[in-house]
Structures are given as structure tokens and as C-alpha cells.
Structure 1
Amino acid sequence: MVTVRLPDTARSGRTAAAAVRTVLGDIAPARLGLCDAHDHLFLRSPQLPGQELESARAAADELAAFHAAGGRSVVQWTPYGMGRQAGRLPELSRAAGVHVVAATGLHQAAHYAPEALERLRREGLADVFIRELTDGIGHSGVRAGVIKVAGGFHCLDAHARWTMTAAAEAHHATGAPIAVHLELGTAGMDVLDLLCGELGVPARRVVLGHLNRSPDPVVHHRAAEAGAFLAFDGPSRAHHATDWRMPDAVRSLADAGFGDRLLLGGDTTTADARSVRGGPGMPHLLRGVRSRLELAVGAELTEQMLTVNAGRAFAVEWSGGDA
């Protein structure tokens, strides 16, 4: 069992200021600047053979290209056991001048060997998450700043319920936000029913990802009404037939008063999708997506989605470790 150490502010009863936990330390949310709220510098999975994001040189070049486009922060949603290369992230962050947030958490079962999942069951999944949020990932000393978990296609299977239950426990111990991969944008309300309804996680601490892949306005509005953050990520992928509807979905939510709940991300998951390999990559969020959204909802709200909203989504009052 992990022993949670309370910081001096918690022991004294004083309220800690909300901060984003980056790989170089905790920062004020306003320091994020233009933020890619969901992306990957490193990623490895048997589900993506031959397309691994493993090159540190390519990651450095991609971050540099993102910085040149105006980007100042990236939230990497790569969870436990998927090639995070946490130890490399501080150097990459410093060199590019881009804040990087690392993730703990667990993806769908298909991304892992059965023996790895069994080992996590014996070790205690929530304990792993808490340790990576408070002490660091492995021996890297890099602390995660978000918990990433995943649902299934229109459902939550036993694996998803196990990982989300552990994520909720880790949230209650640390305050960490929970970012959720929604398979093709589905099962968002099932996730909120479990995390918020059954497990007591405040909806404002939950980020639902990939909503652009299921352009259902009823679900979008219900999730926003519940108080969750809604991430429209990976809109540069031409093979997603729903992507062209994303600006209309954002405008509908903004018109309903939910502009402060919306986030944008690039979600680069394959080597060929990187800008340094000729794909859209991280810079496309600022070079392409931003201008398209400005036509739909205006420059002011688009800027808010990329800056203020990201700070509100990922900044929390941390407990369970020295800040």
C-alpha cells in the first residue's frame, strides 16, 4: 500500500493554489499558454505495429515545430506500459520551451499482455497511479499530472470499470484530473455515471476525449451540463468522416453556454502522422484547426479553448506529495 504524504499546506489547513503538474514541476495554469490538450510524444502498442512513436529525435523535432507554430504546452495522454519514456520528457521540454504534462493510468486491455495486467492486479492499480502522481514514474523522478483511462465502444467492460475505479481512488488521494479515451467518442455518459455518480469524482475533474468522433449533440450537451470538460482531439485525421462536423459541434455547445468546458488536441498516435514525417502532427492544431474554429466561433473563444480552458481542466489543488 502506498503511503500518501501530505504537503505542509494540507497539514496546516491552508488551501494550496491550483497548479498544473508538468514534468519540470508544478506551474500556475496561466503559464500553459497555447495548449495541445491531448497528444503523444511517445507511444507504443501492439495495436499499432510499425507505427510506434519511439524516436527521441523525432519527438524533439515535433515539439520544436509545435513551438514555432505558437504552441507552449502539451498534455501527453500516454499511460502506463505504452512506452511513455518519462525520463526523456524533462530534457525535451527544456530544449523546446514547451511545458509537458505526463500521464499515469491504463488503456484498454488490448494494449497489454495478460501477464502485465495480472501483475498490476497483484500490485494494486490505484497504488501504482498514486505513486506515479506523487513520487514519480519508475526511477525517472518525473511525476504524472493526469490519469488516463479508457472506455469501450458504447460500453464499459470489466477492465474499464477496474481501471476507472482505481483512477477514482487515485483522484481522491491526490486531486489529479482524469482524462478518458472514449472509443470512437462513445459511452461518455456511462463514464460519467461511473466516475461521478458511483465513485464520487467531481465532473469538473473529468476530461472526455474524442467527442469529435461521435457528433451526437444530445450526448455532448448532457456531458457539458454535468460539468465535465469535452475534448475535441485528433480533428486533423481525414479518415474520420465525422471530423468536418467538429466546428458545428463546438458552435452548438458554445451557443448553449458551454464554451468554458471545451478543449482542443491533436492526438498524434502514429509515426507517419507527425509533421516531421509529412503528416499534420502537433502544429496542425494551431495552423489549421484554430483558423477553422475561428470562422465558426470567433477568435476569442478559440483562444479560450486553447489557453484558459486547458488551465482550468488540468490545474488542481494537489495533495499526497510535496508540491
Structure 2
Amino acid sequence: MVSAAHTVLGEVPADRLGVVDAHDHLFIRSPLLPGRELDDVGDAAARLAGFGALGGGTVVQWTPYGMGRRIAELPTLSQESGVHVVAATGLHQAAHYSGELLDSVRDRLAELFVGELTEGIGDTGVRAGLIKVAGGFHGLDEHAEFTMRAAAEAHHRTGAPIAVHLELGTGVLDVLDLLCGELGVAPGSVILGHLNRSPDFAVHRLAAEAGANLAFDGPSRANHATDWRMPDALRALADAGFADRLLLGGDTVTPDTPGMPYLLRRVRPRLELALGKGVLEQILVANPARVYAW
């Protein structure tokens, strides 16, 4: 069986994904970001087209359930831009939802994830290609544990990878202890996001040694203080033999985020200087092809 990514237009063989923005958002809405939503179809089309014009092949949207994914728009955006798009199921931190929404899914969370991965999201027929969950600041609260247990069950039933929002890049080892230790998820199926927000090279090394995938994403105003450490962090991991664990993303969360074209226009040349073209191609092409195909 040929491994394939589950895109919004159907399955795509892993070796045809091209250059991958491994963590981004075309659409996202949250009560924590009032008035700063990504909800404009024209803007999403422009960002996706800009990414494609710079050689981008695939964008993985980490926007989970209940946060304005606009799934019905994604197939047309993908088709018109020529860029593959992967959509997510999953659940973010509790603060991003109303109590009513959380109550409505609490007793069926694993089934919700499995259904969106195997049958489609709502009545769109679009299947999700990953499960997005979230940790807390330096730990896991009750909501995070509950959500990760549902994600692990859905992973075991489908094989889909689990992408984890790490709050300010923290809680890495707690996440791995729960998902990979107690719940038996293979580390190679776990993607740890936002590691650039906490440039703790020792923790990065421990996560890589455990076999997890490490996603470095941004830049943004909120995390600008640590953005400049990303090349050093990536070089340290590559020099230690963990280049095959690394992923890159633009993580466009608000309209003022530089976003996915910036990833290729400005971040890619900077990282070529730090890592060399061969390692950077591995990070942008080979690694996400392995991680997102199931």
C-alpha cells in the first residue's frame, strides 16, 4: 500500500506533496482573538496562491473542530491555487470554546475525531488528515488530558498523526509521557508544535531522542522575542543527527502574521545559511511527507 496524505481533494501520494508548510491556518476564529479572525476567503486565496508561486506544494491547516475551519471553502481554494491542503479534526484548549459546545461533544469526542478522519467533516465529504490537540502552560490540565485520550483512541483506530499545540512551547515531556507512554501512541505519529517559543535546547533534544516530530513555526508579534533562536535550535538538532525529526510552518493565526509566503520568501533563505540546502529540503519535503501520510 502506498502511503498517502488525506487532503481536502482526496488522497495524495506522500511523494507528491512537494514543499510543505507543516503548520498553518487559512481560517481560524476564537473568542481569545476578538476582531482578529482569519475569516476572509479572498485573503486565504491570496496567501495560498502566494505560497504556491514561491514553490509551495502543500499547506497543513491545524485549525480544529469548532474554530471556524470553513471546510467547505478548502477544496475550491486548493483546486484554484494548485496547492494541496490538509484539514484537521481535534480540539483546542477549553478557553477557545463555549461551555455549551464542549458539553455537546464531551461524551463522543473520540467518535467525532474518527468520523471526521474516515467519513468526512459535516456534510462536506472532506476528510480530516490529522488530529489537533493542545497542552497547557508547563503541564496538562483536565481538559488537555481528556482531549488527548480521545485523540489517542482515534489515532489507534485510524493511524492519523496527532499534532499538539504546546502553550508557549512548554509541557513537551508531559505530552510525551501521556501520549506515548501511558496511551501507547508511537512517537513518530506525534508532532510537537511551537517549539520555537521556548528555545530550551535540552528539552528539544530529549523530545527528538524519544522519536517525536518537532515543529518550529512562526514568526509572529506574540513570539518575536524567541523567533531569532530558531536557526540555532534547528542546527543543534540537525548536528546531533535529528534532521529527520524536524518540520517548519508559518502558523498564520491573525491578519498581521507574516504567514505562509513569508516562510518561503524569507525564512527559507535564512535557514539555508544555517543548515544547507540539503538539510532544509529534507525538513520541507521528506519529513512532512513521512509524517502526514498514513
> How would you bin the TM-score normalised by the shorter chain?
over 0.9
Match of 2:42 in 1: 57
Correspondences of 1:42-191 after superposition (within 5 Å): 42-122=27-107, 124-191=108-175
Secondary structure, counterpart of 2:46 in structure 1: helix
TM-aligned CA deviation for residue 281 of structure 1 = 2.0
Secondary structure, counterpart of 1:207 in structure 2: strand
Secondary structure, counterpart of 1:272 in structure 2: coil
- For 1:284, which of 235, 240, 262 is the aligned residue? 262
State the distance in 2 between where 1:112 and 1:312 align. 32
Match of 2:3 in 1: 18
Cα–Cα, structure 1 residues 20 and 93, in superposed 2: closer, same or farther, change >3 Å?
same
Correspondences of 1:222-241 after superposition (within 5 Å): 222-235=206-219, 237=221, 239-241=223-225
The structure number with the bigger radius of gyration is 1
Secondary structure, counterpart of 2:228 in structure 1: helix
Cα–Cα, structure 1 residues 69 and 238, in superposed 2: closer, same or farther, change >3 Å?
farther
**Does 1:302 find its partner at 2:280?**
yes
TM-aligned CA deviation for residue 161 of structure 1 = 0.2
Matching residue's letter, 1:88: E
Cα pair 1:45 1:82 within 8 Å, conserved: yes
- The two structures, once aligned, show a CA RMSD in angstroms of 1.0
State the distance in 1 between where 2:9 and 2:17 align. 13
State the distance in 2 between where 1:199 and 1:107 align. 19
Match of 1:37 in 2: 22
TM-aligned CA deviation for residue 239 of structure 1 = 4.6
Which ranges in structure 1 are unaligned for 5 or more consecutive residues?
1-15, 274-279, 317-323
TM-aligned CA deviation for residue 145 of structure 1 = 0.1
**What TM-score do you get using the length of structure 1 for normalisation?**
0.90
State the distance in 2 between where 1:281 and 1:249 align. 20
State the distance in 2 between where 1:208 and 1:51 align. 25
State the distance in 1 between where 2:182 and 2:155 align. 14
Secondary structure, counterpart of 2:124 in structure 1: coil
Cα pair 2:197 2:223 within 8 Å, conserved: no
TM-aligned CA deviation for residue 235 of structure 1 = 3.0
Could you give the per-residue CA deviations for residues 68-104 of structure 1, whole angstroms, max 9, x where no partner exists? 1111100000000000011110010000000000000
TM-aligned CA deviation for residue 183 of structure 1 = 0.3
Q: Looking at both structures, which has the greater relative contact order when contacts are Cα pairs under 8 Å and sequence separation is at least 6?
A: 1
Cα pair 1:22 1:101 within 8 Å, conserved: yes
Could you give the per-residue CA deviations for residues 233-266 of structure 1, whole angstroms, max 9, x where no partner exists? 1135475211111100000000100000000000
State the distance in 2 between where 1:104 and 1:135 align. 12
Secondary structure, counterpart of 1:263 in structure 2: strand
Could you give the per-residue CA deviations for residues 200-232 of structure 1, whole angstroms, max 9, x where no partner exists? 100000000000010011110000001000000
State the distance in 2 between where 1:239 and 1:200 align. 32
TM-aligned CA deviation for residue 66 of structure 1 = 0.9
Match of 1:8 in 2: none
State the distance in 2 between where 1:57 and 1:149 align. 28
Secondary structure, counterpart of 1:73 in structure 2: strand
Cα pair 2:93 2:144 within 8 Å, conserved: yes
Cα–Cα, structure 1 residues 259 and 246, in superposed 2: closer, same or farther, change >3 Å?
same
Matching residue's letter, 1:202: A
Match of 1:270 in 2: 254
